[in-house]
Amino acid sequence: MTKLGFDTRVVHAGTAPDPATGAIQTPIYQTTAYQFRDVDHAAALFGLSEVGYIYSRLTNPTVAALQARLADLEGGAGAVCCSSGHAAQIMALFPLMGPGRNVIASSRLYGGTITQFSQTIKRFGWSAKFVDLDDRAAIEAAIDGDTRAIFCESISNPGGYVTDIAALAKIADSAGLPLIVDNTLATPYLCRPIEMGASLVVHSLTKYLTGNGSVTGGAVIDSGRFDWSGSDKFPSLSAPEPAYHGLKFHETFGNMAFTFHSIAIGLRDLGMTMNPQAAHYTLLGIETLSLRMERHVANARRIAAWLEADSRVGAVSYAGLESSPWHETAQRVYPKGAGALFTFEVKGGYDACVKLVDHLKLFAHVANLGDTRSLVIHSASTTHRQLTPEQQIAAGAGPDVVRLSIGIEDPEDLIADLDQALAAATG
C-alpha cells in the first residue's frame, strides 16, 4: 500500500480494532503488570532479547499505541511517551548528557524550558548555553568538546519566532551533534522536523496534540538516523551498559537504540511515565489534529491582521504577518501556517496589558496554550516571571506585550471580545 496521507494517519496510525473484542477505540489498559507465559518468557523480556510488556512504568499497550501514532506522524523510527513536556525534555537529554556536558539552546524558548535549562539541569552537572540561533557564528563559537546536542523550538513561544530547521540541522550535522526540536507549537501538521534533518523531536502533548486542555503529557520521537557510535561522545548508547550485562544499545537495537534506551533505562529509573488514561485522551485528540490546526491557523491570521490594523495596538509579533522579520522563513519552512500563538503590544504598557487581560470575557486567562478555546496571558508577570528583564525581552515576553493562544471559535466573536477589552484598557 502506498503511504497514507497525513489526515488519514492522524486517525489510523498506530491503532487497529482491538483483537479481543473488535473495540474500535484502543482500550485503556488500566493495568500495572502483565502475566508472563512462563519463566523463559519472563527471562527473555527482562534480558531485552524479546520485546513485550512487563510493568506499566516501562510500557503499556494504550501508551504504545500513542507512541506508534506519534512516531508515524513525525516520520521517526520510534517514540517514547512520558508524563509531561518537561519530562520529555529530560528524557531527550538523558541518554546524551553527563556531568560536565552542555547543550546549545535557543535563547527563544518556552519560559519553563529556559528555567529548566538554566537552573534545574545544573543539579545533574549539565548546563545549557543560550544562543541566538539566527547567528551561525555564535552557534559555532558556543560548540565545544563537551557539547552533546543543539535544542530549539520549531515555532517559538511566545515571540512569533520560527526556526529554519534545515539550516540548523546542517550546522548540527557538521559538528557531529544531534539536533533536538521541540515541535509543540507547530505540531506535525505544520512542521515535520525529522524530514528537515532533526535527530530527535520532543512534544508537550498537553497542548495542540491532545488539543483541549485536558491532559499533561510529553513524548520524544527518534528519527533513528543519528550515528550514536560515530564518535565516543554518546557512551550510553554506544558503549557496554553495566545494568544490562554489557549490552550495547546502538549495536543491538540499531535505529531503535534511543527508544529502547529511553524505556529500558530512562523510564525504568527516572519513572516519568505516561498513564494509559492520558494516552487515551491524547489519541482521541490527535484524530482531529488536522481539522483543528487548520482552524487555529486561519483564526490566528485573521485576528493578528485585525490587531495590527488597530491604532490602540503596537507591534504584533506573528510570523504569519508580512511585518514579521521571520515571515520569509515562515513561508518557506512552515507553508501551512506559522501556528496560532502570538504576542502584541498594547499602547499604555504594563498597566494597559493587565487591564486588557482582566476585561477579556471569551479569552480564558490561564497559563496554557494550544486549547480549543482562546487563551490570554501577560507573560512578563506570569510564565516568564522567573526570567531577568533581558531574558524576558530576548524571549519576546517583555512587560508591554500580551500573549494570545487563538482557539477554534468563531473569529468574529473573538475580535468583538478583543475590541471591547482594548476599549476598556486604553480608554
Ligand X SMILES: *Cc1c(COP(=O)(O)O)cnc(C)c1O
Number of H helices, E strands in the chain: 18, 12
Question: Would you count residue 113 as binding ligand X (CB under 6 A)?
Answer: yes
Number of residues lying near ligand X (CB under 6 A) = 17
What gap in Å lies between CA 215 and CA 270, rounded to an integer?
Answer: 20
Least distance CB 362 / ligand X (angstroms): 22
Q: Name the residue number minimizing CB distance to ligand X.
A: 85
The stretch near ligand X (CB under 6 A) out of 78-86, 134-142, 308-316, 411-419 is 78-86
Instruction: Give the cell for residue 425.
Output: 484598557
Q: Which residues contact 326 (CB under 8 A, 6 or more apart)?
A: 160, 161, 162, 319, 338
Site residues for ligand X, 313-372, by CB under 6 A, read: 369
Residue appearing with cell numbers 515571540? 159
Q: For residue 213, give the C-alpha cell.
A: 486542555
Q: Which of 102, 107, 199, 204 binds ligand X (CB under 6 A)?
A: 204
The DSSP code for 37 is S
Residue 15 CB partners (closer than 8 Å, separation 6+): 26, 65, 68, 69, 283
Non-local (6+) Cβ contacts of 411 within 8 A are 298, 299, 302, 303
Reduced to 3 states (helix: H, G, I; strand: E, B; else coil), residue 82 is strand
Contacts of 298 (CB under 8 A, 6+ apart): 337, 411
CB of 3 to ligand X, least distance (A): 28
- In the range 363-382, which residues lie near ligand X by CB under 6 A? 369
- Per CB under 6 A, the segment of 38-46, 203-211, 242-250, 410-418 that binds ligand X is 203-211
**Does 85 engage in binding with ligand X (CB under 6 A)?**
yes
Range in contact with ligand X (rule: CB under 6 A) among 107-115, 134-142, 191-199, 329-337: 107-115
Q: From the CB of 341, what's the least distance to ligand X, in Å?
A: 8
Rounded Cα distance between 383 and 400, Å, is 14
Could you tell me which stretch among 82-90, 237-245, 257-265, 413-421 binds ligand X (CB under 6 A)? 82-90
**Residue in 14, 45, 70, 86 binding ligand X, rule: CB under 6 A:** 86
Based on the shown chain and the rule CB under 6 A, indicate whether residue 218 belongs to the binding site for ligand X: yes
Beta bridge partners of 149: 103
Asked if 178 touches ligand X (CB under 6 A), the answer is no
**AA letter at 331:** Q
Is residue 185 at the binding interface for ligand X, with CB under 6 A as the rule?
Answer: yes
**Binding residue (CB under 6 A) for ligand X from 78, 90, 101, 110:** 110
Query: Would the CA dihedral through 154, 155, 156, 157 be positive or negative?
Result: negative
Interacting span for ligand X (CB under 6 A) from 178-186, 254-262, 310-318, 352-360: 178-186
Binding site for ligand X (CB under 6 A): 84-86, 110, 112-113, 153, 157, 182, 184-185, 204, 206-207, 216, 218, 369
